[in-house]
């Protein structure tokens, strides 16, 4: 027996081709939508990163300004501390008690009697 040749009618081939092309167009549309969605997602993440970087740079510059202000205040206070340390050390040398009393002279009211303990 010979195998029978099947001949498909032309309308079935056209129908199958049109269904295949429809599926292909739907697939292309889906890929386009997904690629656009991925693009906008990447664009959003990039803009979020840029905004965060800008905010960080402003915060860093403010921090540097505060640091410079605090460094200046620390320097002034360190100079005061050094001068007071020298004065304190100077009071514990020979004759320091007399120097202290001489410095305290202006603190006694004029109508008061000075009491000196020995």
- Residue identified by tokens 């664009």 is 43
| Span 36-46, pLDDT tens digits | 999 999 999 99
User: CA-CA distances (angstroms) from residue 107 to 11, 88, 100, 101, 102?
Assistant: 120, 18, 12, 10, 10
Q: Which residues contact 108 (CB under 8 A, 6 or more apart)?
A: 114
**Can you read off the two tokens belonging to residue 89?**
């050390």
The 3-state DSSP class for residue 44 equals helix
Q: Mean pLDDT in the chain?
A: 85
Amino acid 43: pLDDT = 98
Determine the Cα angle at 29 with ends 25 and 33, to 5°: 170
* pLDDT, mean of residues 14-21: 83
What residue spans define the domains of the chain? 11-107
| Span 80-107, pLDDT tens digits | 999 999 988 888 888 777 777 777 666 6
The model carries a pTM of 0.51
């Amino acid at each position: 027996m010979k195998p029978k040749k099947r001949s498909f009618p032309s309308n079935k081939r056209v129908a199958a081709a049109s269904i295949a092309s429809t599926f292909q167009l739907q697939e292309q549309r889906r890929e386009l939508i997904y690629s656009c969605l991925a693009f906008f997602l990447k664009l959003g993440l990039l803009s979020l990163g840029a905004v965060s970087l800008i905010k960080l740079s402003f915060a860093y510059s403010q921090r540097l300004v505060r640091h410079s202000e605090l460094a200046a205040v620390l320097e002034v206070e360190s100079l005061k501390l050094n001068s007071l340390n020298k004065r304190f050390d100077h009071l514990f040398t020979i004759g320091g008690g007399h120097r202290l009393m001489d410095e305290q002279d202006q603190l006694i009211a004029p109508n008061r009697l000075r009491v000196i303990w020995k």
